[in-house]
């Protein structure tokens, strides 16, 4: 069974009216700030620790809560419930309750959730392709900081 292992990230989104640019890209700082707000809101939601794992797991079809929990390695019931509620609230996931004992709850991606998979795949490919470069940049930064600390004494 395919499982997903999380990386630490956390954010809480808020509702913001998106700004549309009819004449192309923003040209000044204020216009850039207005254009970035909706991007930050979406990134805050999809950048949550468990969100991308849930989106990817549901990309193959509807899953019951227990199936999702088994697929996503390390997620607690509380965090899975909370993240699914946020995704449902934002329109990425739909929830269907079938009355039975115990109740059956199925989750699946909405049209918007399905559309979100493509940019997630693009970001994933970019991150994987640049992982080594990022690690080297961090090492170089740490070395510069250590040298600056050494020289400052």
User: For residue 6, is pLDDT > 60?
Assistant: no
- For residues 100 and 114, the answer to whether their CB atoms sit within 8 Å is no
- Any domain includes 96: yes
Band (35; pLDDT cuts 50, 70, 90): confident
- Any domain includes 88: yes
How confident is the model over 80-103, as pLDDT tens digits?
999 999 999 999 999 999 888 888
- Any domain includes 122: no
CA gap 25, 22 in Å, rounded = 8
Number of domains in the chain: 1
- Any domain includes 21: no
Domain containing residue 91? 29-110
For residue 93, the cross-strand partners are: 109
* Dihedral sign, Cα of residue 105, residue 80, residue 75, residue 132: positive
For residue 98, give the H/E element and its range.
strand 93-98
Instruction: Assign 112 to helix, strand or coil.
Output: helix
How confident is the model over 37-74, as pLDDT tens digits?
888 888 888 888 899 999 999 999 999 999 999 999 99
- Any domain includes 119: no
- Any domain includes 104: yes
CATH number of the domain residue 88 falls in: 1.10.10.10
- Any domain includes 117: no
């Amino acid at each position: 069974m395919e499982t997903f292992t999380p990386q630490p990230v956390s954010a809480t989104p808020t509702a913001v009216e998106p700004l549309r640019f009819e004449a192309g890209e923003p040209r000044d700082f204020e216009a850039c700030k207005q254009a970035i707000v909706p991007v930050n809101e979406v990134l805050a939601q999809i950048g949550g620790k468990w969100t991308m794992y849930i989106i990817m797991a549901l990309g193959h079809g509807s899953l019951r809560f227990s199936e999702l929990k088994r697929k996503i390695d390390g997620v607690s019931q509380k965090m899975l419930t909370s993240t699914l509620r946020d995704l449902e609230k934002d329109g990425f996931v739909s929830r269907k309750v079938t009355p039975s004992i115990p109740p059956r709850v199925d989750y699946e991606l909405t049209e918007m959730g399905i559309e979100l998979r493509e940019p997630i795949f693009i970001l994933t490919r970019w991150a994987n392709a640049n992982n080594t470069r990022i690690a080297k940049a961090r090492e170089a930064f740490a070395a510069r900081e250590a040298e600056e600390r050494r020289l400052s004494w």
